[in-house]
Chains A and B, each alone.
Chain A
């Protein structure tokens, strides 16, 4: 009753909604980079919210199923095939023992998510199944998954094919070339000149290939601060846009350290974090300001969308 890793891909790991409550002991929250896609993966197979999934980045793995089960893929399109048959995103897929899922390089976006109906049967560490790749911490699978790893699942399931799937529109944000990203004013925004702020909001930035789960290193016109003093280390979070002395911004991602020492020009609103997380190196990112009220309204809107989708799939699974 397991998923067997046959080819590891570039960066495949177990992630859930993160390890909360231990930042004051220095632990990163970690968890999925694209929470929208990961939640849709769980919704498709009617799992409880926050169930652990596989996060498969850049180049996907090959996985052999060692039980009958129902899986779903969401997020970046990695030209998924099971024993040669192409697989749609956002659709429950019954698989049988011995079949192999093969993923390739992401065509658009970076991260693809795999959920298994009933969830992955792996232990939690400090309340979460998420691997922390930088510290090599987690449950049984602390880092990247490797060839030969066998990830137990909770419940095998035999099923006929499903006739429905989620709308591909739900993944349209991944296919857009130009990424519009809204941000709240950072706590040190007044350390930056008007010129720097207007550069930041009027010229494109691009993610560099050095980006990883800790942070996306951006490249564009440099942002300089007026202050010569150092920032006293304070909290930083997923979405914090900090600017080191070289003026090239870094967006802290899911594996952000709990605290940071660079001035913050902004904080990306949560609704736009999935969009940014899927931005491949070289894609233009355009930053624009947003208000806290707008950001919190988007959270509510998002929750309503996910609830509606969940009601739909729950109903469909009842017919099952």
Chain B
């Protein structure tokens, strides 16, 4: 905890680096600091952006009453550190139903081939794991999930799709994720969830939050087509 490195990303952002290791235990500390600041924001605080090994804190230097607003903001942030509890945050597990039918699983056969596995084995390995949401980025509500079994890892597509359908579940390297919107993208698509990851009417529009656990559950095409959205949380 003591060897965090602070860096000015810009006049109004400080990046706090937790080292090179990508591990949930370290990433959780990032979310703990982020929550601690949001719960009791320092003067000038705007928002913070967690990633794998960094937390970036945006602030308004003009709202900080100091000739050295960067140093002052770093000082404010350091003051939160002793109050962050070491025990892990309460984490929520979100279950995502996924239909791995070939109609939706655009690249599943290729992922299986590449790893010398059958399609069934890939599905089994994908649904066996519990995944960890390191952060939300790339697009609204898009979760970066860690914990993919390395035997089903697959590189990004050579040519990204111009439009990946909303709900598509993809693999890129050792990451897995879900496309919340119809957007361009290069991840290998192995299935689709009928669950909405974004609800623009909600004050918190993203279903998944950093630090959540995710489990994928295989469902039939019939179940996918007759899926009815229930309440969220």
Give the contacts of A273-320 with B (CB-CB under 8 A): 292-293, 295-296, 299-300, 303
Are B15's CB and A26's CB within 8 A? no
* Residues of the B chain whose Cβ atoms lie less than 8 Å from the Cβ of A27: 140, 205
Q: A232-B52, A233-B52 are in contact. Are A26 and B69 (CB under 8 A)?
A: no
B50 located at the interface, meaning its Cβ lies under 8 Å from any Cβ of chain A in the complex: yes
Q: Which residue of A lies closest to B8 (CB)?
A: A292
Rounded to whole angstroms, the CA-CA distance of A232 and B51 in the bound complex is 9
B62 near A257: Cβ-Cβ < 8 Å: no
> In A178-212, which residues have CB < 8 Å from any B CB?
184, 187
A28 CB, min distance to chain B CBs, angstroms: 8
B56 at the interface (CB under 8 A from A): yes
Complex contacts, A259 vs chain B, CB 8 Å = 49, 51, 135, 137-138
Interface check B139, CB cutoff 8 A:
yes
* Cα–Cα, bound, A26→B204 (Å): 11
Q: Measured between C-beta atoms, what is the minimum distance from A223 to chain B in Å?
A: 19
Taking CB as reference atom, which chain B residue is nearest A302?
Answer: B62
Chain B neighbourhood of A184, CB < 8 A: 8, 10-11
| A296 engages B61 (CB within 8 Å) | yes
B137 contacts which chain A residues (CB < 8 A)?
Answer: 26, 233, 257-259
Once the chains bind, are A270 and B11 in contact (CB under 8 Å)? yes
Tell me the bound Cα distance from A126 to B204 in angstroms: 9
- The answer on a CB contact under 8 Å between B11 and A23 is no
Chain A: interface residue count, which band?
35 or more
Please, which residue of chain A has its CB at the minimum distance from the CB of B55? A235
Tell me if B32 is interfacial: C-beta within 8 Å of chain A: no
Please indicate the chain B residues that have their CB under 8 angstroms from the CB of A257 in the complex: 137-139
Nearest residue (CB) in A for B204 is A25
For residue B168, CB closer than 8 A to chain A, the reply is: no
Q: A62 on the interface (CB 8 Å rule)?
A: no
CB of B200 within 8 A of chain A? yes
The contact of B48 among A24, A125, A134, A269, by CB within 8 Å, is A24
| Neighbouring B residues of A239 by C-beta, 8 Å | 10
Q: Chain B: which residue is nearest A292 at the CB level?
A: B8
- For residue B54, which residues in chain A have a CB less than 8 angstroms away from its CB? 232, 234-235
In the complex, B227 has a CB within 8 A of chain A: no
Residue-wise, chain B 65-76 has the 8 Å CB interface mask toward A (1 for contact) of 000111000000
Residues of B within 8 A of A267 (CB): 9-10
Cβ contacts under 8 Å, B200 to chain A: 125, 137
Inter-chain contacts of B127 with A (CB < 8 A): none
Task: Scan B127-152; emit 1 where CB is below 8 A from any A CB, else 0.
Answer: 00000000111111110100000000
Contact between A24 and B47 (Cβ–Cβ < 8 Å)? yes
With both chains docked as a complex, state the minimum distance between the C-beta of B167 and any C-beta of chain A, in angstroms.
Answer: 15
Which B residues lie within 8 Å of A26 (CB)? Answer: 136-142, 180, 206
- What separation, in Å, do the CA atoms of A293 and B183 have in the docked complex? 40
14 pairs across A/B with beta carbons < 8 Å?
Answer: A23-B47, A24-B47, A25-B140, A25-B209, A26-B136, A26-B180, A26-B206, A137-B140, A187-B15, A232-B53, A232-B54, A233-B144, A235-B49, A235-B51
Point out residues on B near A: beta carbons under 8 Å. Answer: 7-13, 15, 20, 22, 34, 46-54, 56, 58, 61-62, 68-70, 135-142, 144, 180-181, 183, 200, 204-206, 209-210
- Which residue numbers of A lie inside 8 Å of B, CB to CB? 20-27, 125-126, 134-135, 137, 184, 187, 232-235, 237, 239-240, 257-259, 267, 269-270, 292-293, 295-296, 299-300, 303
